[in-house]
Chain A
Amino acid sequence: MVKSLHDQIFCDLRPEGPKANVWQGLEGDRVRGETRGPPVLGKERCEELRLKPSHPPLPKRKGGFQFMQSFRAITFIVFLALTLAIQGFTVAGCLPDARGGSVVLATTTSLYDSGILDEILDAFEREYKFRVKPIPTGSGEALRLGIMGEADVLITHAPSEEERFMKRGYGYSRTPFLKTEYILVGPPLDPATVRKASSLSEALSRIGKAGFLFASRGDKSGTHIFEMALWKKAGINPVRKGWYLETGQGMAETLLIANEKGAYCLTDYSTYVSSPHLEALSIVLKPEPKEECIYSAIVVDASRIGKRLGNFRVAKLFARFLSSQKCKELIMRFKVDGKIPYRPI
């Protein structure tokens, strides 16, 4: 039940998902029996299905013409059309992955916004012919989707939360594979004199004490969790302050709001460099030593995702791919605006 509710909310993000589910319910036992077979994934199987349809209605077509003049002929045509439509949907539904929905990757927005995720996913698909569907969201939400069994594999950057997730047995494996760094951006004139600060928490304390605008994602994402920890260190509770803008949105949107509002903002380096039109923001603090932002891939434990063993296998494969040499090279090659935002681990 929760799944279907979730599907409704995300139907724009996963267009094929709900459709496939809807039609599966209407197919009847014969077709459903087919879907209960061994979990065979990927395009090969799909094409096989499309080429050799095993559904009985098709041969009926010949006999149908005898009744062309009669009402039965019309009924037959309607029936045929419906059958073909259902068949079409079944085939379409199995494109990303055959049985029991797609392999879902809940990911932080940062990787998605910078475009690197698309490249990784493309490379993975080229290599293994499996498609993985990314849902961009915050780290907190990604972990929650993992707990609910809505996602098969996660990419997050909230180490403390991730450890808790693993400790409670929701995860099968956790692999750090990519990193960037946290920076503080703000108005170039730097009214809070953040540039003189030695650490991020000191910078935040300067901003908070003077009450300069600060844009926060406020969405329990990795960056937000990290930011909250910094505020705690600075001894300030920014929540419900007039100068504290909680956007509830992704990193790119939050940077945009900071840009327009002339606010400070804690961000990962990669999203900042990959966001265009941030003329009113510049890097005001790039702490030394680096405040690292480490992205890990977590494969959700199979028991969480029910019987979707096929998904589990693909998820494991995907996590392994993220740490592969091939992927590392890809990360090192990835450039935005001439800058290399990520480093492999």
Chain B
Amino acid sequence: MEMLKAVSIKKEYGERFALDIEHLAISEGEILTCVGPNGSGKSTLIRILSLLEQPSAGRLFFRGREVQNLKGRRRLEVLRQMSVIFQDPIFFGRSVYDNVAVGLTFRRLSRAQKDQRVRQAIKEAGLEHLERADVSTLSGGEAQKVAFARAHALNTDLIFLDEPFANLDIEARRSYQAIVKNALKGRGKTAVFVTHDISEAAYLGDRVAVINEGSIVQAGAPSEVLFKPANAVVARFTGMENLLDGVVSSSSVGILTVRVDGGTIQAVGEEKAGTRLILGLRAEDIGLVPKDQLRLPSSFRNSYEAIVERVEPAGAVTRVFVKCPFSLVSYVTSRSAVEMGIVPGERIGVRFKATSVHVMGSGF
């Protein structure tokens, strides 16, 4: 059943459209992640879906009931079936305990009921040792856990999370993500979760909606969005670094030969010859080999001799920019980059499978 549905939601600030959502539905028990670059309108979307902000136009349904125009007690009643966690938690009281209890205090729960639920939430968030700590002394990760615990303590069926992991280091982020995922799934909660990190979105979400410039550009299962981006924008956002304009020169039994700037690429597809399209390639799908290896038989349909243009070490991996003669970026492990002697100006072999090439319309 649908927990929340947004229809033709629009929000404008002055002249500028901040949000324009045609249709968005969240089913019961589902975790939807909204992913998009900064300023794409994700936070606005969360504030509107959680009834904290009024849309300029459109309708919002909560469990089949139209809610966007509710006022006063009735709005509060709906509001109390949701909880929201923000990127930077704002604290109200002094101690961790008080802060976890705050939402329950708003709901005027009895002391005993409150105490039981607060302790439960603190335990699930792994904060027992900090129960009496002053919130101003917490680290970023601990603060976020408190923020989660206080929403979790409310035990609402619907939880909104607005970039809760943004300010955390990688270690804290991993442990916190696991806690959140377990807690949400464990209790069968419905959640809307906003992030600008596609891998985070894919890890947490049952479904991913990509938002750009206030609109949903693609929604679907994480793998679908990651591997079949609907257009170049999504592709770039999901980390597909190589995007090439091309025209289909020939097409036979599902294999396309596409002419790109300075060469041809073979890809999988059904498009007719003459079609303009965009080819997407993940950097990690492009293999670099010593150039003499190219002569050996292999299953790679695309292989080129290329010149290394630039080398950018990035920790464990190294980004290698090559010209084949069209430009590509490839990731190799930093170790093999050293072993293979990849330096600018060097000639090198580049190869990738036709199935790794993602074919998109050139509409964007």
Within 8 Å by CB, do A and B touch in the complex?
Answer: no
